[in-house]
């Protein structure tokens, strides 16, 4: 089962507040974080791109602002998050700089992952950062996200990020080493489940109810995260993060629970493109481009003979062959106006024609479905 992480090309690692921040004084546990950075460097050396989703802004910020007591008012936790996030980001920068790995802060809200245009913008940013070899360090944008527009827990946020980035593994580092058939804190004979292939009502019952004192996540949000991730083709692990170098331990076969994905990320993403979207327009291609697409290549502007309908960058469009029949569907990288300007031209001319340097492809092969 370790190959789910060992074989991953893109992994999201979620780090909970309880691991990163001392509960008594709100300090960041730097030696743990530095060891984790060693693990991240190790994964990257194996050819795996890494994204981090981190909690801890509120836990750090409340100490900095001197906010005491159990419950914080909404505006207090938002202020705490705003204050703590700077320190959190800095701690990651410092930890990964020891390996000469760059970091970038990405703050997302629920809306950013639900609204398709914002989703695609965020996705493009993440992909660009990863291409540049930088580790995105993601948290919820707590200062603007409130109430029902809020994730509230980073388990689900991490699953959305994994889905967005087409990651093939998501590891939720937690203060428990996996999913148990009963609550191990109250049932001494509880047994850990090493592998979950379907999230059945029995599995859901194992998660139980969050107990007072649990951090915002608990097992229930982890199961929701597992559902999101596995449906998007990403395997997900709940693993013990309380030890130093928890990712290496996982690679070495430490016990954990793996939730197994049904499809590979590409097929899940392509199913989403093929099925769930209403095409906003169409792109007609010549015979040469059709042959290239049938061989699994991207659609370049040079092979485009016509543009129909009104669409924006990121919309779903139909691809039509020379005889006008649908041959595929994809997400287009340019608006209809820009697509008209570059249709029939070489990719090298895009910058001159549009005044900006967009993608070389009108539809990238990862965003294209040919039935
Ligand atoms: N976004 C919150 C923070 O950074 C954490 C949410 C969670 O506990 O998962 O403090």
Amino acid 23: pLDDT: 87
Half-sphere exposure of 51 (CA within 13 A, CB side): 33
Note the pTM of the prediction, 2 decimals. Answer: 0.77
Which atom of ligand 1 lies closest to the CA of 157?
9
Q: How far is the CA of 16 from the centre of ligand 1 (A)?
A: 7
Q: Is the CB of 58 under 6 A from ligand 1?
A: yes
152, 174, 218, best to mutate for ligand 1 pocket (most atoms within 8 Å of CB): 152
Amino acid 314: pLDDT: 82
Q: How far is the CA of 102 from the centre of ligand 1 (A)?
A: 23
Q: Is the CB of 140 under 6 A from ligand 1?
A: yes
Minimum CA distance residue for ligand 1 atom 7: 153
> Are 262 and 307 found together in one domain?
no
> Are 352 and 206 found together in one domain?
no
Amino acid 313: pLDDT: 86
Q: Is the CB of 55 under 6 A from ligand 1?
A: yes
Is the residue at 272 inside a domain?
A: no
> Are 180 and 326 found together in one domain?
no
Show which of 243, 267, 291 is a domain's final residue: 267
Is the residue at 34 inside a domain?
A: yes
Domain that holds residue 213: 3-267
- Token pair 């889905």: residue: 163
Q: How far is the CA of 172 from the centre of ligand 1 (A)?
A: 13
> Are 248 and 360 found together in one domain?
no
Q: Is the CB of 26 under 6 A from ligand 1?
A: no
Amino acid 208: pLDDT: 75
Q: Is the CB of 81 under 6 A from ligand 1?
A: yes
> Are 165 and 217 found together in one domain?
yes
Is the residue at 125 inside a domain?
A: yes
> Are 210 and 255 found together in one domain?
yes
Minimum CA distance residue for ligand 1 atom 5: 55
Segments in the chain below pLDDT 70: 1-2, 114, 147-149, 209-217, 266, 268, 275-278
Show which of 212, 243, 267 is a domain's final residue: 267
Minimum CA distance residue for ligand 1 atom 6: 153
> Are 213 and 348 found together in one domain?
no
Amino acid 148: pLDDT: 61
18, 76, 139, best to mutate for ligand 1 pocket (most atoms within 8 Å of CB): 139
Amino acid 143: pLDDT: 85
> Are 201 and 299 found together in one domain?
no
> Are 342 and 225 found together in one domain?
no
In sequence order, which residues have a C-beta less than 8 Å from that of residue 227 and are 6 or more positions away?
Answer: 159, 199
User: What CATH number has the domain bearing residue 260?
Assistant: 3.40.1160.10
Minimum CA distance residue for ligand 1 atom 2: 55
Amino acid 332: pLDDT: 92
User: What CATH number has the domain bearing residue 286?
Assistant: 2.30.130.10
Q: Is the CB of 154 under 6 A from ligand 1?
A: yes
Assigned token pair, 227: 């559902």
């Amino acid at each position: 089962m370790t190959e789910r992480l060992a074989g991953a090309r893109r992994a999201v690692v979620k780090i909970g507040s309880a691991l990163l921040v001392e509960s008594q004084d709100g300090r960041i546990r730097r030696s743990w974080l530095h060891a984790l950075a060693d693990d991240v460097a190790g994964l990257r050396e194996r050819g795996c791109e890494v994204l981090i989703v981190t909690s801890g802004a509120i836990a750090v910020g409340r100490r900095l602002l001197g906010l005491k007591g159990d419950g914080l008012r909404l505006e207090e936790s938002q202020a705490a998050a705003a204050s703590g996030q700077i320190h959190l980001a800095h701690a990651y920068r410092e930890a990964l700089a020891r390996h000469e790995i760059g970091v970038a802060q990405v703050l997302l809200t629920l809306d950013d992952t639900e609204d398709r245009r914002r989703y695609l913008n965020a996705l493009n940013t993440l992909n660009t950062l990863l291409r540049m070899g930088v580790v995105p360090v993601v948290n919820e944008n707590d200062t603007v996200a409130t109430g029902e527009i809020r994730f509230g827990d980073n388990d689900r946020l991490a699953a959305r990020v994994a889905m967005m980035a087409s990651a093939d593994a998501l590891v939720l580092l937690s203060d428990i080493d996996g999913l148990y058939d009963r609550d191990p804190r109250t049932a001494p004979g509880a047994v850990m489940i090493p592998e979950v292939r379907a999230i059945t009502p029995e599995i859901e019952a194992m998660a139980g109810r969050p107990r007072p004192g649990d951090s915002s996540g608990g097992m229930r949000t982890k199961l929701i995260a597992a559902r999101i991730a596995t449906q998007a083709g990403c395997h997900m692990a709940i693993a013990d993060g309380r030890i130093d170098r928890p990712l290496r331990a996982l690679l070495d076969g430490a016990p954990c629970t793996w939730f197994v994905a049904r499809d590979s990320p590409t097929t899940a993403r392509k199913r989403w493109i093929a099925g769930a979207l209403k095409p906003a327009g169409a792109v007609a291609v010549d015979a040469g481009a059709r042959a290239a697409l049938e061989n699994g290549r991207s659609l370049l502007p040079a092979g485009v003979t016509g543009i129909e309908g009104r669409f924006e960058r990121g919309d779903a469009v139909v691809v039509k062959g020379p005889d006008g029949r649908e041959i595929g569907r994809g997400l287009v990288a340019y608006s209809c106006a820009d697509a008209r300007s570059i249709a029939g031209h070489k990719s090298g001319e895009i910058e001159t024609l549009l005044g900006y340097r967009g993608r070389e492809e009108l539809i990238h092969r990862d965003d294209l479905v040919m039935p």
